[in-house]
A and B are shown apart, each in its own frame.
Chain A
Amino acid sequence: GQSLEQPSEVTAVEGAIVQINCTYQTSGFYGLSWYQQHDGGAPTFLSYNALDGLEETGRFSSFLSRSDSYGYLLLQELQMKDSASYFCAVKGGATNKLIFGTGTLLAVQP
């Protein structure tokens, strides 16, 4: 089967850097995605890594190590509006569908 693990909660202060880790187990792997969801809002796509290494998009970066079945989302120069839940998701398995983790609730404090 497929499973993902990520921390349930992370707290950081404005201007800081925070890293949200995700480890996964899947039979067949195509890539790791990250989504952001504000309270009461729709999950929105942040990034997708199919190959090892770091992908940078503005203040957010995402990293993947396929050999370690591990990835992380790095948020820099944190802002209050970054307070949200962050989900990692694996594309893979027998049916190539997207499976989500339980999410990490990030609280950014002044």
Chain B
Amino acid sequence: ETGVTQTPRHLVMGMTNKKSLKCEQHLGHNAMYWYKQSAKKPLELMFVYSLEERVENNSVPSRFSPECPNSSHLFLHLHTLQPEDSALYLCASSPQGQGGGELFFGEGSRLTVL
């Protein structure tokens, strides 16, 4: 138990579907992140929110839309995805500024796009 909970753990969707991934952290952190993890590739930083404000958008396609309604919750809204978007999507949190480089990750949402 890392204090970061992601739902759903597994998601299968067609290219025309709309779905959302949810992340909740119980650690009192002020920064939240979305990472994409694909096989044989480094974790790719997608979005960073600090105090509910987006501070990083790492050239992510607009078919991924993040939302951070408060410092404990983070969403990733998905629409018209492509098969190459199939991956593990990891949410993480940290004290503001990442401090000593320590992120607290959830177990991820495994997404399959058909």
Binding site for B on A (CB under 8 A): 4, 8, 30-33, 40-45, 48, 50, 87, 89, 91, 95-103
Contacts and interface: CB of A to CB of B under 8 A. Distances in A.
A47 B58 CA distance: 25
Contact of A96 (B2, B4, B98, B104): B98
Q: Which of B41, B101, B107 has the most CB of A within 10 A?
A: B101
Interface in B37-90: 40-43, 45, 48, 56, 90
B105 interface: yes
Given A89-B101, A100-B42, A44 B48 contact: no
Contacts of A43: 43, 90, 103, 105
Interface of B: 2, 4, 35, 40-43, 45, 48, 56, 90, 97-98, 100-108
Nearest to A46: B102
Given A42-B4, A95-B56, A98-B45, A30 B105 contact: no
Which interface residue of A87, A97, A98 has the most chain B CB atoms within 10 A? A98
B103 to A, nearest CB: 6
Contacts of B102: 33, 45, 48
B100 to A, nearest CB: 4
A30 B99 CA distance: 10
Interface core residue of A32, A43, A87, A91 (most chain B CB under 10 Å): A43
